[in-house]
Amino acid sequence: MQIEFTATDPTRDRQGCVVVGIQAPKELSAAAVRIDEASQGALTAALRSGDFKAEPGRTLLLRNLAGVAAERVLLVGCGPAAKLDAAAWRQTVTQLARVLKELGSTSAALYLPEVEVRERGLDWRVQQAVQIIGDGWYRFTGFKSDKEPAPKLKKICLPKAFLADPRVDCEGAARIGSALAQGMALARDLGNLPGNVCTPAYLASEARRLGRSAGLTVKVLGEAEMKRLGMGALLSVSKGSREEAKLITMQYKGGPSGAKPVVLVGKGITFDSGGISIKPAAAMDEMKYDMCGAASVFGTLLAAAQLKLPVNVTGVVPASENLPDGSASKPGDIVTTLSGKSVEILNTDAEGRLILCDALTYSARFKPDVVIDIATLTGACIVALGNHASGLMSNDDDLADALLSAGIRAHDRAWRLPLWPEYQEQIKSPFADMANVGGREAGTITAGCFLAKFTGAFRWAHLDIAGTAWVSGKEKSATGRPVPLLLQYLVDRAHAA
């Protein structure tokens, strides 16, 4: 999608479609007033007739209005001003994107962001509109013979007047929105790809490709090197697979050369069958999404590099399959992690923490400012938070708060869970330094407690994205979350620096 700040007058713009907001019950936005005057009350008449109610997400397409140069005027309902908060506005734009996709015009002049949203500025409205419409254009059609034709709309023109206020950077906001949509698209593509295509080796080659296109330094370790380093936990997961595990690192160096990096560690299980502790067959296909943590690292790095954010970011992706086999790990097996600590594997389906613990220990070599791991780690997190919030755990209150507020701003929210020492009791083992599972209770937290044992050396946060990284059901798909949260965190850091 092409974005320009070229719209100048809603009655004279020659774009195929002019999009204006209407608030309930009958409050016209500034652009709507201009069109209403020029067309001798066409909009007021539409409202009076009852053809259009200004409820959130409702739209009405008017064609060939007298006094209006554009062929189409699209009215978008925003509901009553008092109720137009971030969530309602996002729903409105999501609905608008669906309508724009079906439209015959190739460009649209988008005046909608002039409508005020509670506690959100114009730059936020612009960023969200560009992101939501861009993400709405996402398609995953590579494996279909019948490809739906792509939507006609190719260009969004935003009002030039949005650039008038020097205190808000709408151009920057649009750039962020557009980079985000692209980062999310990459994350969604990787998540949607089937396990027979998206293997650990595939992720490694994608990393190299991203490295070339975005200017990242990429390094890939194979199993021999991991063995030499002593990554016994990571290798215990890939033992049962014929695909070689990979440890991928990608360095984006946009900040000062001495500045400590943000390290993003993404779980990259390209298929999780559970291993010997095999999962039930129902919906097991969805476990191809078990590399969405890794995918969010790819997507965030792409967006950060595209924006040339002045921060240093290192992505670390442990990638493996988790399959049953004659050589697979068995319940009761004890392995030694890179940190030297031993783990009793009580359940081979708790494999995410096994690959992550070695990747976290490895992360220390980058002398990180903070380490954030992102993982589809526990079904328990879906039970606790559904698909509205990612689970957040951290050993540092400032880092946790920064991530929570980035999530609110990006509307990609997280919710913090405690890592109190009491929970550590649940992962004690009589045979090893710890067990890899801690029973049914507080499953998300005990997984976090396990990871915490490998993060003593740095400020660390863990995002459990089991519920947020995809939607199940008929329209099942990777969502691209939490790329918006992570990118917002990096943008906030860049501003603070």
| Window 323-362: residues binding ligand BES (CB under 6 A) | 347, 349-352
Q: Per-residue contact track with ligand BES, 281 to 320, x per CB under 6 A?
A: ---------x------------------------------
Residue 347 contact, options ligand BES, Zn ion, Mn ion, none, Cβ 5-8 Å cut-off depending on partner type: ligand BES
Contacting residues toward Zn ion, per CB under 5 A: 269, 272, 290, 352
Burial of 430 (0-12, 13-18, 19+ CB in 10 A): exposed
Minimum CB distance to Zn ion smaller for 132 or for 269: 269
| Window 375-404: residues binding ligand BES (CB under 6 A) | 376-380
Residues in the chain: 497
Q: Report, in Å, the least distance between residue 488 CB and ligand BES.
A: 24
Q: Report, in Å, the least distance between residue 279 CB and ligand BES.
A: 7
Written as six digits, the tokens of 285 are 């296909």
The neighbouring-strand residues paired with 392 are: 416, 463
Q: Report, in Å, the least distance between residue 378 CB and Mn ion.
A: 9
DSSP line for 131-148 = HHHHHHT----TT-SSPP
User: Within 13 Å of residue 34, how many CA atoms lie on the same side as its CB?
Assistant: 17
189 forms part of the interface with ligand BES (CB under 6 A): no
Asked if 77 and 52 count as a contact pair (C-beta separation under 8 A), the reply is yes
Q: Report, in Å, the least distance between residue 462 CB and ligand BES.
A: 14
272 forms part of the interface with ligand BES (CB under 6 A): yes
Q: Left (φ > 0), alpha (ψ -120 to 50) or beta: where does 245 sit?
A: beta
Omega of the bond prior to 482 within 30 degrees of 0, cis?
A: yes
Rounded-to-integer distance, Cα 448 and Cα 78, Å: 41
Minimum CB distance to Mn ion smaller for 186 or for 287: 287
Q: Is 279 in the active site? A: yes
Q: Report, in Å, the least distance between residue 348 CB and Mn ion.
A: 8
Contacting residues toward Mn ion, per CB under 5 A: 272, 349, 351
From 239, 267, 353, 409, the catalytic residue? 353
Q: Which residues contact 207 (CB under 8 A, 6 or more apart)?
A: 216, 218, 220, 248, 250, 298, 315, 317
Written as six digits, the tokens of 384 are 């606790």
Minimum CB distance to Mn ion smaller for 348 or for 363: 348
Nearest to 395 by CA among 453, 447, 481, 467: 453
Residue 223 contact, options ligand BES, Mn ion, Zn ion, none, Cβ 5-8 Å cut-off depending on partner type: none
Residues with a known catalytic role = 279, 353
Question: Can you give the binding site for ligand BES, defined by CB under 6 A?
Answer: 272, 290, 347, 349-352, 376-380, 437, 443, 466
